[in-house]
Amino acid sequence: MIKLENVTKSYSTEVTALQDASFDVAKAEFVFLVGPSGSGKSTLLRLMNRQEKPEKGEVWVAGRNINDMPDAKVPHLRRNIGNIFQDYKLLANKTVFENVAFALEVIGRPKHVIRQQVPAVLDLVGLSGKQERFPHQLSGGEQQRVSIARAFVNRPLILLADEPTGNLDPTTGEGIMRLLDRINKTGTTVVMATHDQRIVNMMRKRVIQLDRGIIVRDQARGVYE
């Protein structure tokens, strides 16, 4: 589903965010990217949805080399990738329903599809009774669930999650991980950057560890260390 070949990315001559990174992620796999802040986890995620381009190497997503992809095609690539963030990135002036519907509306989905898919995905994330609430009326965990619903409502092939439990207490974080695990079991590939040791150790999924831009470990059913 995702393949990186000798990818190098630097933001300046002094700072190399990623150096010669290579790995494959299979369809429906769940992968943790771990490492301290600045180790290159977020850069890896940004390379996968073409928010960044590498200096060297190739990034393949769903069978396509996305480095060579014309800019006009990038939006179509992103419709197959859901994004989840530590700060949720919800729109404060929109309700829960509108926030999730927004993701379908801006890619031109018809109203009847939106009316059908949004309640279904809100039900999946456990927010079916809170459609009309605004983000500030929700807890952090609930806001992250809205963010997951928005990322998943278009049934993407891949979910990229950047520290999704970073702002949550341990119990709420576990709930979010159970939800991501359920989504993963529907066949969606999940790549999650985190430095939440407890969660990585609890899930026992594949772990790719980075240190100053270099992959130092790639372990199936790994732990944080």
What does the binding site for another protein look like in residue numbers (CB under 8 A)? 49, 71-72, 75-79, 83, 89, 91, 102-103, 105-111, 114, 150, 154
Q: CA 99, 105, 111, 115 torsion: positive or negative? A: negative
Q: How far is the CB of 121 from another protein (least distance, A)?
A: 13
| 3-state secondary structure labels for all residues of 202-220 | HHCCEEEEEECCEEEEEEC
- Backbone Cα Rg of the chain: 17
Q: Rank residues 87 and 132 by Cβ distance to another protein and give the closer one.
A: 87
Q: Rank residues 8 and 80 by Cβ distance to another protein and give the closer one.
A: 80
Q: How far is the CB of 14 from another protein (least distance, A)?
A: 24
Q: Rank residues 93 and 171 by Cβ distance to another protein and give the closer one.
A: 93
Q: How far is the CB of 101 from another protein (least distance, A)?
A: 10
Q: Rank residues 88 and 215 by Cβ distance to another protein and give the closer one.
A: 88
Q: How far is the CB of 12 from another protein (least distance, A)?
A: 19
For residues 202, 62, 38, 205, the Cα torsion angle rounded to the nearest 10 degrees is: 10
Q: How far is the CB of 30 from another protein (least distance, A)?
A: 21
Q: Rank residues 30 and 88 by Cβ distance to another protein and give the closer one.
A: 88
Q: Rank residues 18 and 84 by Cβ distance to another protein and give the closer one.
A: 84
Of the candidates 207, 183, 186, 184, the residue with the CA atom closest to the CA atom of residue 195: 207
